[in-house]
Amino acid sequence: VRTLGPGREFDLLQEIFDRLGPVANGLGDDCALIDVGGRTLALSIDASVEDVHFRTDWLSFEEIGWRATAAALSDLAAVGATPIGALVSLGVMGSGKRETGSVDPVLEIMGGVGACVASVGAKVLGGDLLRSEKYLVDVAVIGTVDRAVRRGGAQAGDGLWVTGALGAAGTALEALKKKKPLSTSLRARFAHPEPRISAGRWLAVHGATAMIDISDGLAGDAAHLAAASNLALDLSLERIPCWPGVEPLAAVGSGEEYELLVALPGEFHERDAAEFHANVRLSLTRVGSCLAGTGVRFLDRGRPVEVPAGWDHFAR
């Protein structure tokens, strides 16, 4: 039985897999992985929809294009793949429905898509343009991978590590909701997240047993990794690398971070994390351990604490 994680979204996915039956092929990871001519292709698709994933009064169209693309590329990072390119379906309102001044949303969005794709050395490979009541940016990405890291390979005894610092995206979201201005660094982080491609590749080459990108929040994505790997995770709140000014409880609930949560063998130590940092220019912090059992437990200096569940698109 495939185990995805808790929540209505995962119940629904399970029902889809059941309905598809044998025509479904290896669903439920960050990417589809397909062997072609002795190589492995990694593919993923990620839709961003106006008023669900973004608001046009919060982000420029260029930023909307970048962010949607970064979200899709982040799934390639999560399996350790090298991007080849992206295909984009773009839904925009017909002319006259919205006054946009001199800015052409289509060109601005695709400018953001192109810049994000270029930042990881990939190309825009194709797409589709359609009329839609809301802006829609649906990005399919393709890459190659030598040693794909799935969600389900973690072993009891592995350490659990996270790249970068968490909490900026949630902090930015709160500020935008309250119509408060964002600092330059917070805006850069929220509007132009960097897919962790080189980090994912380095970790895949250096023995990662399981990996997932943090799109639903560390707490939620840890639950997905635990369920897929069929083991328990203990995470230490005081070890969580937090964006300046963000409390650990907020950092572990913050979604759309696009950092990587990765299980590495117990022999992977701080000196290896220092080598990662020297190569990738990103921190790698041990936040917990993989254990026999099920579920995710958060500890605050050894004492168990309640942490709100992760993001579920169908919970509301």
List residues binding Mg ion (CB under 5 A).
30, 75, 213
Residues with Cβ within 8 Å of residue 192, at least 6 apart in sequence: 63, 66, 67, 70, 116
75 vs 158, beta carbon nearer Mg ion = 75
Q: In sequence order, which ranges of the chain are alpha helices (DSSP H)?
A: 8-20, 61-77, 105-119, 168-177, 184-191, 197-205, 218-229, 248-251, 270-280
107 vs 315, beta carbon nearer Mg ion = 315
* Closest CB 31 distance from Mg ion, rounded Å: 8
Query: Which residue number has the CB closest to Mg ion?
Result: 30
* Closest CB 57 distance from Mg ion, rounded Å: 27
Give the strand order in the sheet containing 284-291.
Answer: 210-213, 260-264, 159-163, 284-291, 232-236, 295-300, 303-305
44 vs 171, beta carbon nearer Mg ion = 44
* Closest CB 262 distance from Mg ion, rounded Å: 13
3-state secondary structure of 293: coil
32 vs 182, beta carbon nearer Mg ion = 32
At 42, phi and psi to the nearest 5?
Answer: -115, 130
Q: Decide: 76 and 211 in contact? Cβ < 8 Å.
A: no
* Closest CB 44 distance from Mg ion, rounded Å: 8
Give the strand order in the sheet containing 39-49.
Answer: 32-36, 39-49, 136-145, 82-92, 123-131
Q: Is the dihedral of CA 7, 31, 87, 187 positive or negative?
A: positive
Q: b vs e for 217-245, b when ≥16 Cβ sit within 10 Å of the residue's Cβ?
A: bbbbbbbbbbbbbebbbbbbbeebbbbee
3-state secondary structure of 268: coil
Q: Decide: 213 and 141 in contact? Cβ < 8 Å.
A: no
62 vs 256, beta carbon nearer Mg ion = 256
* Closest CB 46 distance from Mg ion, rounded Å: 8
30 vs 63, beta carbon nearer Mg ion = 30
- Distance between CA atoms of 106 and 135, rounded to whole angstroms? 10
* Closest CB 78 distance from Mg ion, rounded Å: 5
* Closest CB 149 distance from Mg ion, rounded Å: 12
Tokens 């040693």, residue located: 147
213 vs 257, beta carbon nearer Mg ion = 213
What type of residue sits at position 179? K
* Closest CB 104 distance from Mg ion, rounded Å: 31
- Distance between CA atoms of 24 and 42, rounded to whole angstroms? 16
110 vs 117, beta carbon nearer Mg ion = 117
217 vs 288, beta carbon nearer Mg ion = 217
